[in-house]
Structure 1
Amino acid sequence: MYVFQHPGDPPHWNGTLKADRRTILCKQFDPTTSSVVGIEDCLTLNIYTPAIITKPLPVIVFIFGGGLYKGSNTDDRYNAKYLVQKEVLVVTVNYRVGAFGFLCLKTKEAPGNVGIKDQVAALRWVKENIATFGGDPHSVTLHGESVGGSSVSLFILAQKAEGLFNRAIIDSGNAIRPMFFDRDPINTAAEVASRLGYNTTDPDELQKIFQNTTADEIVIASTNNFTNNAYGRFVFSTCIEDVNVSKNVILKEYPKGLLKSVKDIPEISIIMGYDNKDGIMWASDYNSEGLRDLDYDFTTVIPKSITFKTEENKSMFIEDVRELYFNNSKTNIEGLINYFSDALVHYPSFLVMKAFLTNPRISLYNYYFKYDSHRNKYKLASTLSSIPGASHCDELYYLFDPVEYRQTTPTPEDSRMIGTTFSSSE
């Protein structure tokens, strides 16, 4: 585990990059350059600390999102100076993504969920070592966004990181989120293998194929075109592990089944919520042609986690969706935003929160983020920048200071949302 420390000087830390501020990505596809980036030896931590520490400080461990296929803990995106000004230590965690973190063949070499186990290993490292950096190992808040939040939710529900954190913050994520779990991971691996020129569903043969294929070739074979295909970006995901071959099993049942064991969760405080227009991220994948196609076949945007006993049940579901989100008229972009918001984030989050509330030992606090400004980076970068509200991930840029905004002073309104004050000289 590589560790890079970023000492700050609150409250006037200017975020200037220092020599030890490394950007290390795990292997993934970069759509902006249409190339494979990152390395396989990528398990790093970034630790942000005040310049002067006079007592052990509370710790926030942050797990990034990215659909389990991309992302990193890079300082360019997750510079934690705003949080450090509140007298806390912040640790941002890298974990393997794509096939390298979530290839699930249920074999000893590819058991599945190793990217999640990277996160547990990071938490264990923090518990054992954070005191050296001035942190309090007995006061750790685990914070995750999107699938990072899904991981945090999973750790709580499955009790797989017990004793490694005391509180949790879950942003627009949950363990039962549709794209967070793969019911047929062997078929997923076989589909990627078919793009490499092979035709097999045998786990041992698939393992040999992936072992004898270069990392870059695996990344390219795992990459889909997202245009008019909101779920295309999600390939490898978490899975049920074989308890006979897997060490430190993370999942041994469907995530939704974990809701039944909420009563066994020990005392914990949780902040959980989402953005009002989370669905902008996925709706922006659709152009006018894609919207017309949904008029004829809406099944392509029904999450795989939703199953139907009969075709009649499926037809009734689609009719209800059309009535609720599109007023029984043609598919429109605002209705699609609300549909994706509810189907992929809001409703499954609600189910998890409802389950948490059945346990009196869980203190649950909710938030609803809809603030809109020029720092709503994800919405502004989408094709739907004129839609009012906050897209999936937009809240991050009021918690962190990405490189794009470091040369400008936040507006007074943004400063209030960030929770700090700025002078024109900063």
Structure 2
Amino acid sequence: MLKIVGLVAFTVATVCTSPFSPINDPLIVETTGGTLRGERLSCGLFCNYFSFKGIPYGKAPVDELRFRAPEPHEGWDGIREANQHTVSCPQNDILGRDNDDEDCLSLNVYTPNTSGRRAVMVWIYGGAFSLGSGDSFIYGPDFIVSEDVVMVTMNYRVGPLGFLSTGDEHATGNYGMKDIILSLKWVKANIARFGGDPDNVTIFGESAGGAAVHYLVLSPLAKGLFQKAISQSGSALNPWAYQTHPERTAHQLAKDLNITFTDNADLIRQLRLARPSDMNRASPGMMSFPIPRGLSSIPFVPCRDPENTDPEDAFLPGEPIDLMNAGNFHDVPYITGFNDAESLFLVYEEILDPNVFNVYNENPHIMIPLQWNVSAGSPESDDIVSKISQFYFQGQPLSTALRYPYTQYNTDLMFARGIDMTAKIHAEKQQEPVFYYLFSFTGALNLLKNLLSLNLYPGAVHADELGYLFQITSIPAPLLPNNPAIRIRRLMCRLWTNFAKTGDPTPPNDPIANVLWHRVSGNQEYYEIGSTVQANANPLGDRMRFWNEMKDKVN
């Protein structure tokens, strides 16, 4: 009997000190909120990584926490299984399904190994600040982690729950952005336990996520939470990404919901009782936006903090352009850029709304950027409209024959012009390098272009670069090794991860990223990722030059 007891004791002691015990198990990680158990997944031949999904970082923003900055999650007891994503934050589901579960503030960590100290890349999804999640179904980490980098994604509040503001203390707005900041604080406190370096964090995102990255660069609340930044197809200077009249927008939502209220305090009290799905359905979809769509603000997006906001709470204490011109932002290495045919999807706009060209032809003043504050019907307006019409449309009324030039006009105003200004101003005002890119490659992984059957037109459409960074589940079928898309995917991932590791996307002697990418230094130097990879200056030269010269005349 004693021998049996001794054998059991020896076995228990051996298990407790073995490298396979929970204490040393790389799938078991202690965080500030509690213990997690992840899973080991494959990222290809001889490639594996550790996945930890659905980690809560914030309390459910319900009741009095709705329309407020998030609070840290209270934690959990025991071991939490981290093998599934949580629910996405409430939004207009493309399949029309209701989602009223607001307990959505979670993040996901993917790491090559839980030991060591690697560069960290935190992804912020796009979706017009109205849709999206950090789920690996779309943003699979395989290609990023295979470059020996830790990748993090998160959910943040979108739509009215994420960005409604009354322009005063009752609802200050920017809750979705503050969710992202709270997730970055979680990364700062915990990522070392996953093999990441908390002092080498790169934030990157696309579309609204790219604009969100830029907002974080501008926000004093994000100080010290990241060391590098990448904005893909998004900037705070894009017209759709910044709300100048948040109170008016909040009141319109109340009207659409048949809510009567006495003041903003009463409005927010009632909206805290409303179903998220009702609020999201009342928020206009893209085709419900006033024409010109995308050239004015999406209803619920970041906005400036109300006057008299405590500086310690202010996410955006001034107009983005003013903060930039004053140099009031985080001086970090920064990549920004866009796809050469961002708005190509608008070739279908006339099919979806046959009246769209009539609206332009009857009121051509709407071609002028709203931010220029040019009076309709004035000689100045007539002159600018004439120049725009001649430059893009040969002076002809808009028609089906001009669909493609119409998409070029929209690419320039919705995306390229604001991003070009962003690269220029940051390069002038900061010491750390700014790198500017143009993505023009078309191939098997241009998922949106292929999905929308736009291959008769040249260029890369909005979001087309995502297939060259992430493993998107089941789309497309596996590619042969000699497919040109494989080469561009390797290049994109190497450029981005080189930058995350060192601040230089093309360090010496890299066999994949072997074309030198020059920082912006006065001539809008950029790096074109296309059928040919090359360094050049002034992307979309004549088009950007046209708008810059027009703006100088207006001002």
TM-score by length of 2: 0.69
State how 1:57-76 maps to structure 2 within 5 Å. 57-76=118-137
Greater RCO, 1 or 2 (C-alpha within 8 Å, sep 6+): 1
SS in structure 2 at match of 1:79 = coil
1:424 corresponds in structure 2 to none
**What is the Cα deviation at residue 45 of structure 1?**
0.7
Rounded to whole Å, the distance in 1 between the matches of 2:377 and 2:265 is 36
Rounded to whole Å, the distance in 1 between the matches of 2:363 and 2:48 is 52
Preserved CA contact (<8 Å) 1:5 1:47: no
Q: In structure 2, which of residues 84, 90, 102 is the aligned counterpart of residue 27 of structure 1? A: 90
Are residues 1:251 and 2:316 paired? yes
Q: In structure 2, which of residues 209, 225, 228 is the aligned counterpart of residue 164 of structure 1? A: 225
Rounded to whole Å, the distance in 2 between the matches of 1:279 and 1:294 is 17
- For structure 2, the residue ranges without an aligned partner over 5 or more in a row are 1-32, 54-81, 492-555
State how 1:132-211 maps to structure 2 within 5 Å. 132-198=193-259, 202-211=263-272
Identity among equivalent positions (%) equals 27
Preserved CA contact (<8 Å) 2:218 2:316: no
Rounded to whole Å, the distance in 2 between the matches of 1:284 and 1:34 is 22
State how 1:283-362 maps to structure 2 within 5 Å. 283-287=347-351, 288-300=354-366, 303-309=369-375, 311-312=377-378, 313-331=380-398, 332-359=402-429, 361-362=431-432
Preserved CA contact (<8 Å) 1:29 1:223: no
Rounded to whole Å, the distance in 2 between the matches of 1:36 and 1:278 is 30
Preserved CA contact (<8 Å) 2:243 2:297: no
Question: What is the letter of the counterpart of residue 397 of structure 1?
Answer: G
State how 1:365-384 maps to structure 2 within 5 Å. 365-382=435-452, 384=454
- For structure 1, the residue ranges without an aligned partner over 5 or more in a row are 421-426
Query: In structure 2, do the counterparts of structure 1 residues 303 and 359 end up closer, same or farther at CA, with 3 Å as the change threshold?
Result: closer
**What is the Cα deviation at residue 379 of structure 1?**
2.2
SS in structure 2 at match of 1:136 = strand
Rounded to whole Å, the distance in 2 between the matches of 1:307 and 1:233 is 15
**What is the Cα deviation at residue 405 of structure 1?**
2.1
Segment of structure 1 superposing worse, 41-50 or 228-237: 228-237
Preserved CA contact (<8 Å) 2:49 2:110: no
TM-score by length of 1: 0.89
Rounded to whole Å, the distance in 2 between the matches of 1:220 and 1:355 is 38
For the pair shown, the structure with the greater C-alpha radius of gyration is 2
Q: Deviations over 1:52-104 (max 9, x none)?
A: 45521110001111111111111110001001000000001211000101010
Q: Deviations over 1:291-319 (max 9, x none)?
A: 34322234556554342156313333322
Q: In structure 1, which of residues 246, 270, 273 is the aligned counterpart of residue 334 of structure 2? A: 270
Question: What is the letter of the counterpart of residue 324 of structure 2?
Answer: L
Preserved CA contact (<8 Å) 2:340 2:461: yes
Preserved CA contact (<8 Å) 2:108 2:152: yes
Q: In structure 1, which of residues 388, 394, 409 is the aligned counterpart of residue 464 of structure 2? A: 394
Preserved CA contact (<8 Å) 1:190 1:199: no
Please tell me the root mean square deviation across aligned C-alpha atoms, in Å: 2.9
SS in structure 2 at match of 1:29 = coil
Q: In structure 1, which of residues 7, 15, 40 is the aligned counterpart of residue 102 of structure 2? A: 40
**What is the Cα deviation at residue 406 of structure 1?**
6.3
Question: What is the letter of the counterpart of residue 276 of structure 1?
Answer: D
Segment of structure 1 superposing worse, 298-307 or 41-50: 298-307
Query: In structure 2, do the counterparts of structure 1 residues 402 and 166 end up closer, same or farther at CA, with 3 Å as the change threshold?
Result: same
